[in-house]
């Protein structure tokens, strides 16, 4: 018996027996974000998160789409971008948002598009402080190792 994998979620055993693994997302709550740059740019970027893999989204011909799956949260995310003049988030995902139904029967509303996505300044400061502490630790460990080797060589 041979086992062969055609793609990430489908296995075929021998000649005909196949196993398809479908994720079981119990409570998807899709969200749509429009990412903007503080500098003026001609590119508009949209992020659709936490949707079920069985729902396919529509995209325009002049835009680029990247789809990914996050194993930790067991949900999908999609990034789509294109020129600001020819595309916006609500049009890019409009068909999909209407079809994205939650188990309760409610649908994700196009009007819930968030117009900005900002990082937390405190989080950035904490990350920089952590990097600083790691550099100090590595310098200390390297200096101690160098001095120990120097003492052993004498």
pLDDT tens sequence for the chain (154 residues): 455 555 555 666 666 666 666 666 666 677 777 766 666 677 777 777 776 655 555 444 555 555 555 555 556 777 777 776 666 666 655 444 333 333 444 444 444 555 555 667 778 889 999 999 999 999 999 999 999 999 999 8
133 and 80 within one domain: no
Q: Which residue has the tokens 């999909």?
A: 96
151 and 97 within one domain: no
Distance between CA atoms of residues 69 and 79, nearest Å: 11
Q: Domain residues for 101?
A: 24-112
Enclosing H/E stretch for 82: strand 75-83
| Residue 12 in domain | no
Select from 83, 85, 88, 96 the least CA-distant residue to 46. Answer: 88
| Residue 35 in domain | yes
Read off the DSSP letter of residue 85: T
127 and 103 within one domain: no
| Residue 31 in domain | yes
What is the number of structural domains in the chain? 2
| Residue 85 in domain | yes
148 and 75 within one domain: no
pLDDT of residue 152: 93
Burial 35-71, CB ≥16 within 10 A → b, else e: bbeeeeeeebbbbbbbbbeeeebebeeebebeeeeee
153 and 105 within one domain: no
| Residue 34 in domain | yes
32 and 107 within one domain: yes
CATH of the domain at 94: 2.60.40.10
Kindly report the pTM of this predicted structure: 0.39
99 and 38 within one domain: yes
| Residue 81 in domain | yes
106 and 88 within one domain: yes
C-alpha R_g of the chain: 24
pLDDT of residue 120: 72
123 and 108 within one domain: no
C-beta separation of 43 from 84 below 8 A? yes
C-beta separation of 80 from 97 below 8 A? no
């Amino acid at each position: 018996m041979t086992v062969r994998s055609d793609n990430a979620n489908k296995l075929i055993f021998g000649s005909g027996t196949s196993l398809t693994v479908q994720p079981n997302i119990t409570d998807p709550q899709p969200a749509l974000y429009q990412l903007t740059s503080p500098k003026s740019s001609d590119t508009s970027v949209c992020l659709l998160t936490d949707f079920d893999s069985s729902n396919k989204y529509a995209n325009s011909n002049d835009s680029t789409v990247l789809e990914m799956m996050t194993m930790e949260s067991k949900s999908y995310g999609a990034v789509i971008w294109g020129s600001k003049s020819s595309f916006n988030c609500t049009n890019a995902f409009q068909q999909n948002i209407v079809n994205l139904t939650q188990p309760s029967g409610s649908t994700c509303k196009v009007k819930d598009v968030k117009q900005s996505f900002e990082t937390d300044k405190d989080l950035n400061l904490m990350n920089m402080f952590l990097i600083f502490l790691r550099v100090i630790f590595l310098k200390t460990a390297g200096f101690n190792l160098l001095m120990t080797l120097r003492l052993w060589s004498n």
